[in-house]
Amino acid sequence: MASIGPPQSLKRSDTSLTREGDQLIITPLGAGNEVGRPGVYMSYEGKTILFDCGIHPAYSGMAALPYFDEIDPSTIDVLLVTLFHLDHAASLPYFLEKTTFKGQVFMTHATKAIYKLLLSDYVKASKVSVEDMMYDEQDILRSMDKIESGHVLGAAMFMVDIAGVRVLYTGDYSREEDRHLRAAEIPQFSPDICIIESTYGVQLHQPRNVREKRFTDVIHSTISQGGCVLIPAFALGCAQELLLILDEYWSNHPELHNIPIYYASPLAKRCMAVYQTYINSMNERIHNQFANSNAFDFKHISPLKSIENFNDVGPSVVMASPNGLHGGLSRQLFEMWCSDKKNACVIPGYVVEGTLAKTIINEPKEVTLMNGLTAPLNMEVHYISFSAHADFAQTSTFLKELMPPNIILVHGEANEMGRLKQKLIT
């Protein structure tokens, strides 16, 4: 965690955080100097809040949890979950069912709908001993009854006001509109404290049209030489954005119509049903298209439930979860294809330290398989980020518009976070 306090001239004159005897405490239980397992604990004026309740994707079982033993869960009044990704919500059943927490839990309607699907799949795919399991299907079902959903859809930022002090927690956000989602809005009120993600630090995203062209060029080139393309991605979120790009590209290139594209996830059909339910929360492009046709009723993409249903003959494109290649369908396909130089793997978003996806970005000569043996890494590896995280340009502009007197950086690797802090204060 890094905190920044701008010069006094930037501070609002109507609020003071340092009344005598008062102390606002913010403690990251995860994501303080890492990307993964966010759980940001905050207490002030007798009120205690926990923002997000995730896991670390590079770890399994109890080791993936935030450091809950640093706090007393029974003292927390409200738990606010910003989005459905596992690294923001997957320790929630544990926290609700296995600790002394008795407070309220809030997330949006769409997050609650998807939360159940993703966590049920996570439990089924987990390869840990019974003793090391955080929770089971019954814990997930019981947790659903304790979650209250708000009136907005999708991912959310939270602005919390305690005794006149406003705190904004951004969660993961992007100020760039993409093919289906609106850009994150600027809050109506400026906060006294902004707790903001620093995932990409001082990095800048390439323009969207450049990324899309790189993405489709790599795929077209690979299948033209008889290879297969693996795209490891979250089952929801980035996947839908990339499927929209691929379906449009295939429609514009008749020569590709005999090349199959698969959306490989046990959740594929159910996830798409959720997306179709929440069309109204998406951007004008999707609204306009929906007047004539369903944008998510893909013409050139088929669901693939398991590896047993896959006929691995000839070129193909497969989008599979998880994004970190740490198990599941994406890992199985990677191990099948990694040694053939005709094939390619496109990493389409941020991947955390400790995962295989992070490792292969540096293109090692060989990789360790799930059975412990090694195999040569001959396939091409391309990192083309469509991650819905703010880059430096978005972060700095967002903060200039809000002008918060105090900034706390979370959800970033220590080096990136440090570089961002230095750039923001100079």
Q: Looking at 180, 300, 382, 389, which residue is catalytic?
A: 389
Name the 3-class secondary structure at 264.
Answer: strand
Render 143-162 in DSSP notation, one character per residue. Answer: HHTTEEE-SS-SS--EEEEE
pTM value is 0.87
What are the strands, taking DSSP E only, across 94-205?
104-107, 147-149, 158-162, 165-169, 193-197
pLDDT of residue 268: 66
User: How confident is the model over 178-229, as pLDDT tens digits?
Assistant: 777 778 889 999 999 999 999 999 999 999 999 999 999 999 999 999 999 9
Tokens of 219: 């795929």
User: How confident is the model over 363-390, as pLDDT tens digits?
Assistant: 999 999 999 999 999 999 999 998 888 9
Rounded percentage of the chain residues whose pLDDT exceeds 70: 93
User: How confident is the model over 225-247, as pLDDT tens digits?
Assistant: 999 999 999 877 788 889 999 99
Whether 360 contacts 345, CB under 8 Å:
yes
Would the pLDDT of 10 be above 60?
A: no
pLDDT of residue 60: 86
Would the pLDDT of 12 be above 60?
A: no
Would the pLDDT of 396 be above 90?
A: yes
**How far is C-alpha 36 from the geometric centre of its chain's CA atoms?**
9
Q: Residue 389 catalytic?
A: yes
Render 325-383 in DSSP notation, one character per residue. Answer: -SSHHHHHHHHHHTT-TT-EEEE-S---TTSHHHHHHT--SEEE-TTS-EEE--SEEEE
What type of residue is 318? V
In 3D space, the residue among 101, 109, 108, 112 whose CA is nearest the CA of residue 48 turns out to be 101
φ, ψ (nearest 5 deg) of residue 25: -115, 130
